[in-house]
Amino acid sequence: MTQTTTIQAKNLQNNTETIFYQVAMPQPASHLFEVQLEVSNWQAAILNLKMPVWTPGSYLVREYARHVQDFVAEDSQNNQTLVSQKVSKNHWQIKTESCSKIRVKYRVFAHELSVRTNHLDATHGYFNGAALFFLLPGLEQQPIKVKIIPPQPDWQVTTTLAEVLGEENTFEAKDFDILVDSPVEIGKHQIYDFEVLGKPHQLAIWGQGNANPKQIIEDTKKIITTQAKIYQGLPYEKYLFLLHLSSSGYGGLEHKNSCSLNYPRFGFRALEQYNRFMQLVAHEFFHLWNVKRIRPQALEKFDYEQENYTTSLWFSEGTTSYYDVVIPLRAGIYNRKTCLENFSKDLTRYLTIPGRNVQPLAESSFDAWIKLYRRDSNSDNNQISYYLKGELVSLLLDLLIRAKHNNSRSLDDVMRLLWEKFGKQEIGFTEAQLQTAIAAVAEQDLTDFFNKYLYTTAELPFAEYLEPFGLYIKPIVEEEPVPYLGIKVQAENSKEVIKFVEANSPAATAGIDADHELLALNGIRATSQSLNERLKDYQVGDIIQVTVFAQDELKTLSITLAQPQPTRYEIVRMENISEVQQQNLSGWLGN
């Protein structure tokens, strides 16, 4: 902590009403939030303001300061402009000598509709604290009041921030972390109140679509009850599900007492799409324990100015992904068949990504900041998602524990143990403590397991762990096999663009690159729609001529086709399973 920051903290440490924000949006169509910050009882010569660079739960430096404009600082008592300067990408300094009350005005451009950013238009306003508010270094624990001024009288404000009695649309956060962790929705959204286990809940929906609030609430109640059984209660007094219906968005972001969800507006009628939405609900709700309260030590205290590194995101996100598949099953939203189909889809994604043979899981967690959210044409060749592989490692751990203890123990017991040891008091766990807790529930030395499947690229032993449950993995090859070329093509601006070339594939060996434009196969035009059908006319070992534009240069390359690759993998039940296998399977996935 710098000397200036120390003085700043000392001057205001006992005054609970010194930091006050006002958020207005007088012209919503401009996409500009107009923000005022007032700091009272100030005594130091300099006021430091820093804009966070990321939002907890979304592990990428997003540089929110880039959306700040029209920054002005004033002595609000004397109505004089104060001298200020920007000293780094997200750091402003204001000269405040002999000034006890400072007003800062700025505007924030908000035109990105995602769960982690800000969005403002003629229909609503939505913001996340990290993307809108300045942090005052050294004063992170100070209470902060926020007044929202809607542009129209019929716009309502929905948030889990504590209301200030007697002050309309005014709220208080006990510290900066709570402010960041409490998204705000302003507009004409629909609000539905419901109760689960004696506690109030809300579903707020913005946007038009085919969502059925009644059905969503009934199934959400089941998910809440199912997850509460794991942890033997709910760790909040009230909870908000904030749903944005968008044209094609998808995502969720967890908060301590709420979650933000973004889903395609017409993605609720088809059963498969609806089930996917309920998995999203289950995922974000599970995070209120796993991540928001049970979290790695590196995330115990957030550093909003830079990356917060941990190798345990595989557990924070991957284990949560495992539970978002099994929770809807336990809740009765879908059946065992659908559950196994969902696992099979994830298994197919995993086994068809070459990057699983390049990047270890712990490294994937650590490198989230520079890889997962910054995909390029080579991403599938050199990385694996900690969500995806973490889910499958969690699957193996659950099966290992269940098989050894005849379903009397499971990964649920690991979650309860972590909740008791770390979550209730919000003490961050170390990597070693996490592994010790899992091994303690399993009553088995898992050193070799963790060494292999977290720190190397050894193939995950699915067959070994599924066999006690009467299941196996079945590779599926099309009835008309397609000889292997190794490219993915997509129509783009009237061109057929090669978007991905698998490492060591026939296409890669011949010199095909991502971003080449596919023109012809053996002299006849080929497209993303026709390519696989065309390849079916050839045999393994045939040499074909592929014509492309490479940096506007016409090239024709000779490529030898290889063995067809499985197009998907299915987890299926063995034909004749023993009584023990049947008991294991029923204990895990029900009848």
As a whole number, mean pLDDT of residues 494-500 equals 96
Instruction: State the pTM of this model.
Output: 0.94
User: Are 55 and 197 part of one and the same domain?
Assistant: no
Q: Which two tokens stand for residue 518?
A: 């596919």
Q: Is the pLDDT of residue 11 over 80?
A: no
CATH number at residue 446: 1.10.390.10
Q: Which long-range contacts (CB under 8 A, 24 or more apart) does 196-200 make?
A: 196/221, 196/224, 196/225, 196/228, 196/234, 197/224, 197/225, 197/228, 197/233, 197/234, 199/234, 199/236, 199/237, 199/238, 199/239, 200/237, 200/238, 200/239
pLDDT band at 478 (very low <50, low <70, confident <90, very high): confident
Do 303 and 395 have their domain in common?
Answer: yes
Are 428 and 546 in a shared domain? no
- Residue 88 is assigned to a structural domain of this protein: yes
Task: Look at residue 60 and tell me if it is in a domain.
Answer: yes
CATH of the domain at 230: 3.30.2010
Report if residue 239 sits inside a domain. Answer: yes
Residue 549, domain CATH:
2.30.42.10
Same domain? For 146 and 62 the reply is yes
The number of domains in the chain is 4
Q: Is residue 460 part of a domain?
A: yes
User: Pairing relation of β-strands 144-149 and 102-109?
Assistant: unpaired
pLDDT in tens, 322-370: 999 999 999 999 999 999 999 999 999 999 999 999 999 999 999 999 9
Closest residue by Cα to residue 260 from 237, 280, 278, 274: 280
Say if residue 21 is in the same domain as residue 157.
Answer: yes
* Domain at 170, CATH number: 2.60.40.3650
Quote the pLDDT of residue 414.
98
Q: What is the pLDDT of residues 281-329, one digit of tens each?
A: 999 999 999 999 999 999 999 999 999 999 999 999 999 999 999 999 9
Residue 98: per-residue pLDDT = 86
Mean pLDDT of the chain: 95
pLDDT greater at residue 334 or residue 44? 334
Looking at residue 491, its amino acid is: A
Q: Would the pLDDT of 3 be above 80?
A: no
pLDDT beyond 50 at 16: no
Please check whether residues 306 and 363 belong to one and the same domain. Answer: yes
Query: Does 402 share its domain with 302?
Result: yes
pLDDT higher than threshold 70 for residue 395: yes
Q: What is the mean pLDDT of residues 368-389?
A: 96
CA distance 54 to 302: 10
127-171, pLDDT tens digit by residue? 999 999 999 999 999 999 999 999 999 999 999 999 999 999 999
- pLDDT bucket at 17, cuts 50 / 70 / 90: very low
Residue 5 has pLDDT above 60, yes or no: no
From the list 168, 214, 167, the residue with the least C-alpha distance to 190 is: 214
Domain termination residue (choose one: 136, 169, 187): 187
